[in-house]
Structure 1
């Protein structure tokens, strides 16, 4: 799994845990729905940390909590 796939899975996991739609997440995070859709649909390959921070703020978690997940433990090598 690469970092983009892990970020997508983590966002979807957190939304499911909180019973949030992508639209609701975009509203509480202050990020446009099209941006969040692009992220979760894999159209954005490099989600910036500022965007992840806004998503975390909307979800009521820290950036550390976002990345404190097994999804990020065994990522593919970024540079080959």
Structure 2
């Protein structure tokens, strides 16, 4: 799994855990719906860290909490 795929999956998992839609998360995070949709749909191959920080803000979690998931354990980084 690539970093982009893992990031997308983590966002989807967190939305499900918090019972919020992608569009609601975009509003809470202060990013456009198209930006968030491009991340979760796999169109964005390299989501920016500042965007992930905004997503964390919208979810009211830390960046550490975001990346503290088994999803990021075995990434294909090469």
Question: Normalized against structure 2, the TM-score is what?
Answer: 0.97
Matched residues in 2 for 1:33 and 1:4: separation? 17
- Aligned-pair RMSD on alpha carbons? 0.6
Matched residues in 2 for 1:7 and 1:68: separation? 11
Paired residues, number: 78
- Structure 1 runs not aligned, ≥5 long: none
Compare CA radii of gyration and give the structure with the larger one. 1
Is the partner of 2:27 in helix, strand or coil?
Answer: helix
Shift of 1:40: 0.5
Matched residues in 1 for 2:40 and 2:33: separation? 11
Runs of 4+ in 1 over 6 A off after TM superposition: none
1:60 aligns with 2:74: no
Matched residues in 1 for 2:37 and 2:53: separation? 17
- Structure 2 runs not aligned, ≥5 long: none
Matches within 5 A, 1:1-80: 1-76=1-76, 78-79=77-78
Is the partner of 1:31 in helix, strand or coil?
Answer: coil
Shift of 1:2: 1.0
